[in-house]
Amino acid sequence: MNEPTSVPTVLTIAGSDPSGGAGIQADLKAFVTTGAYGAAVITALTAQNTIEVTGTMPVPAEFVRQQLGSVLSDIRIDVIKLGMLTSRKICEAIAPLIENHTVVCDPVMISTTGFQLIDEDTADALINAILPLADYITPNRFELEKLYGDRIDDAKHAGIELMERFPNLTGIVVKGGHVNITQSTVTDVLLYRQKGLIKEAIENRPRYDSPNTHGTGCTFASAFASYLAQKNSPKAAFKKAVDYTNHLIKISAEIRIGQGRGPLIHHKGI
């Protein structure tokens, strides 16, 4: 009898978006369309659509821990992707269970418009309990400043200092989608460790004028986690995730889902 075929498996720990554009819904779509099996642990329920968020119901920390323990006790997980963690208690509950896994943390703290999404106590727990266990982080510019602890003029310099402060980090993706929005190109940078040195990989891509960008950050981080689970190098996983996300932004530009800022349409392959 032949041995069962193993498939790359990624677990997301994040909030639920009932409109399907962000959170675990976007994560699971990104996993499957990039070639991985996806599992999910829910940290919060939200009431939202393409126009607004009208409510949030955090899941009790002990039940988040129970969900996570249940999955890990049964399924081999290659990479864990972290999205919105809604309380200090949740951060502290999951920390002991994720420390022996490859972790991609999308530190959901501040929106790309600068709006604070979690309270200071939760942000402190994310920085002090979760970040030391992460292998990769994918902050936006505002989140990078929050992690760095000050306003920054040079994102690359701030990223290098963070990697020196957190020696557990293998890589930081400095996303450029919301920087210099009048420019026709977007520059994303991966800082990564290789043989004791911090190196960089740069990807430039066209900036598409699209109203449909809801869930882009979730999608990118999930694609990056998926490609890492498929044994790509950090540099290769980064390039593939940038190409995948950029492709989705392009093909979603003319599609109408809802009446507000629409989601990406997760089609398989590019």
CB 200 within 8 A of CB 156: yes
Burial 226-244 (b: 16+ CB within 10 A, else e): bbbbbebebbebbbbbbeb
Say whether 175 is catalytic. Answer: yes
CA–CA gap between residue 67 and residue 268 (Å, rounded): 28
Say whether 215 is catalytic. Answer: yes
Q: Which of 146, 175, 239, 240 is labelled catalytic?
A: 175
Say whether 20 is catalytic. Answer: no
Q: Which of 215, 219, 239, 240 is labelled catalytic?
A: 215
Q: Which of 20, 176, 217, 262 is labelled catalytic?
A: 217
Q: Which of 218, 239, 240, 245 is labelled catalytic?
A: 218
Q: Which of 34, 102, 122, 216 is labelled catalytic?
A: 216
Instruction: Indicate which residues carry an active-site annotation.
Output: 175, 213, 215-218
